[in-house]
């Protein structure tokens, strides 16, 4: 788990793993959700997390001037992620999905807001405490991306309360 004391490369690797865990969880939740709109929401969130992985991969490769592309690709394919960007272990979130078997959008939405809110808090904290100035910039960008996810989810919540 990230602490803010990591150098830029280690920060990117750790952030990548958390984003991958979140993407995998959302993809799994999209399959398991019973409600069509919940499936759609989790699917969209999974796609956004995939874009975060692409962003982090681009930064990693640009630092290495594309010298370590094969090494990074191997790493991404064989690395399992056990923690999400919210700091919640993937297995704990999967247990929540298993218990709830979402029959409505609101239950799915509340879980997604919890994940994204915690991710925002983590990245904001890391942006303030990171020792490496380049890592600070990455964490700030990631917290801004989490803000966009939260705003998206708030709009969905607003629509659900209007129904």
**What residue ranges define each of the domains in the chain, with the CATH number in brackets?**
8-162 (1.20.1260.10)
What are the tens digits of pLDDT across the range 34-68? 788 888 999 999 999 999 988 888 888 788 765 55
pLDDT at 79 over 70: no
Average pLDDT value for the chain: 82
The contacts of residue 29 (CB under 8 Å, 6+ apart) are 38, 42, 93, 97, 102, 108, 111
What's the pLDDT at 149? 93
Contact 23, 4 (CB under 8 A): no
What's the pLDDT at 153? 92
Distance between CA atoms of residues 47 and 132, nearest Å: 29
pLDDT at 144 over 70: yes
């Amino acid at each position: 788990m990230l602490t803010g004391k990591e150098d830029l490369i280690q920060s990117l690797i750790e952030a990548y793993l958390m984003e991958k865990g979140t993407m995998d969880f959302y993809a799994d939740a999209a399959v398991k959700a019973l409600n069509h709109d919940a499936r759609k929401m989790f699917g969209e969130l999974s796609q956004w997390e995939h874009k975060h992985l692409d962003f982090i991969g681009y930064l990693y490769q640009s630092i290495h001037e594309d010298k370590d592309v094969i090494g990074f690709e191997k790493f991404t394919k064989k690395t399992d992620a056990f923690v999400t960007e919210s700091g919640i272990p993937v297995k704990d979130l999967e247990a929540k999905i298993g218990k709830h078997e979402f029959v409505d959008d609101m239950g799915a939405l509340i879980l997604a807001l919890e994940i994204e809110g915690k991710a925002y808090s983590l990245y904001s904290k890391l942006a303030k405490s990171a020792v490496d100035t380049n890592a600070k910039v990455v964490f700030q960008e990631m917290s801004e991306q989490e803000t966009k996810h939260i705003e998206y989810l708030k709009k969905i919540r607003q629509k659900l309360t209007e129904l």
